Amino acid sequence: MSDLYRSALSARLAKLPLDLSGLEGDDDDDEESEVADSIGALPGSGMGPPAMPARNPRTKAPRPPNPDFAPISASPFFDSASQVDVPSRSLDVRAYYTPPKFAGGTVMVCHHGAGYSGLSFACFAKEVADMSRGECGVLAFDARRHGKTTSTQNDENLSVEVLADDLVALLRVLFPDPKAAPTLLLVGHSMGGAVCARACPLLINDKYRIAGLTVLDVVEGSAMDALPHMHSLLNTRPDGFDNVEAAVEWHVKTNTIRNPYSARISVPSIVTPSQSASAIVPAYQWRTPLRSTAEYWPSWFKGLSSMFLSAKTARLLVLAGTDRLDKELMIGQMQGKFQLVVVPGVGHMIQEDDPTKLAEILVEFWRRNERVVVGIKRVGDD
């Protein structure tokens, strides 16, 4: 981490107040927006929603649900939503799937980031299906300890190796014959990018056809540099919410998700009713508290750059803003080993903030690398 970056990060942390009141009132909203602008500018750490001042439910009466942030069903965005039994991993995986409409089509396999769910790709999935005219499908799913995926063994391990094996096992269940399976294009956001990078060679060894590997808004160097500061940032997040609408509203008003429509689809899946809600315990809590995943953070990002660059397929890195590449990626970019696209005007949740733009990028990437003329090198090929 550079001295400039460290100083900027420390200054931003120092500006956070110890406590602020709830979202009620115009004055509170103005103060919240000011803090959100400060924290939201931090380089993407890959650690999920940015931190905001804690909301203490004990000091305020419960707020009624705001209909402007009411949940929206995800049913129009995927053809199916089902629980998939993956016995080799003792998992019952929640999977959202829109298959390609034509034989020989491609499926974008989307892995979400820490604390989120497969529904963070809902709007993106609809855009991909429309832009590709059904030639390209989308499969998104909830990782273990996330969303509606459950484990019969209550395995808490979220190391990148375990998550990558989960992904491979799920695809083996859904597409048991690699020769008959559709071509796969791996898309991973943040933590999910590390999972897809590690799963890619495993799938290639299994003889699945991999059209490309896409990593969304995570760089190993920036992520590793941010890890020592994550507990301080998480200390300032709300412990929970009065209702689902309040959770959606928090994500929108803090610019964690800049697309209210997408937030109304995805956020309900990342909170859960509290088992003992009271005046002290909020009615809804995080389904996957990020602090509980802390021991696995280094495994997610250490070695990500080399794993990404060594993938034997086309490679695409999509960043929000101008997050710096680490040395290994800078050298790889100069050598033409991967395609880099920077999307302006979005935050860490690229696929939610601007699903149309990301779909355009991914569909163009798919068309160029899946339909490549024989004998012409793909982007990222050595």
Alpha-carbon gap, residue 47 to 234, rounded angstroms: 10
Three-state secondary structure along 308-350? HHHCCCCEEEEEECCCCCCHHHHHHHHCCCCEEEEECCCCCCH
Active-site choice (146, 323, 348, 353):
348
Find out whether 40 and 254 touch, Cβ atoms under 8 Å: yes
What value does the mean pLDDT take over residues 23-35?
37
Domain 75-223+295-370 CATH class label: alpha beta
User: Whole-angstrom Cα distance, residue 200 to residue 306?
Assistant: 13
Q: Where are the domains of the chain?
A: 3-70+236-289, 75-223+295-370
Q: Which of 45, 132, 190, 305 is catalytic?
A: 190
- How many angstroms separate the first and last alpha carbons of the chain? 30
3-state secondary structure of 219: coil
DSSP 232-274: HHHTTS-SEESSHHHHHHHHHHTTSSS-HHHHHHHGGGGEEE-
What share of the chain in percent tops pLDDT 90?
71
Residue 277 has pLDDT above 70, yes or no: no
Residue owning tokens 């094996």: 165
Is the Cβ–Cβ distance between 131 and 100 less than 8 Å? no
DSSP string, 116-142: --GGGGHHHHHHHHHHTTTSEEEEEEP
pLDDT band of residue 32 (cuts 50, 70, 90) is: very low
With bands split at pLDDT 50, 70 and 90, how would you rate the model's confidence at 233? confident
Worst-scoring range by mean pLDDT, 8-12, 226-230, 377-381?
A: 8-12
According to DSSP, the residues that pair with 151 across neighbouring strands are 91
Is 358:350 a contact under the CB 8 Å cutoff?
yes
On the question of pLDDT at 42 being above 70, the answer is no
> How much is the pTM?
0.84
Q: Which residue has the tokens 């998939």?
A: 84
| Mean of pLDDT values over 182-194 | 97
d(CA 150, CA 143): 9
Sign of CA dihedral 329, 335, 336, 341: positive
pLDDT tens string 79-138: 999 999 999 999 999 999 999 999 889 999 999 999 999 999 999 999 999 999 999 999
Query: What is the pLDDT at residue 232?
Result: 86
Sign of the Cα pseudo-torsion (61, 67, 82, 199, in order): negative
Query: CA nearest 188: which of 160, 226, 209?
Result: 160
Q: Is 217 a catalytic residue?
A: yes
Q: Which of 142, 166, 217, 323 is catalytic?
A: 217
Question: 336 or 103: whose pLDDT is higher?
Answer: 336
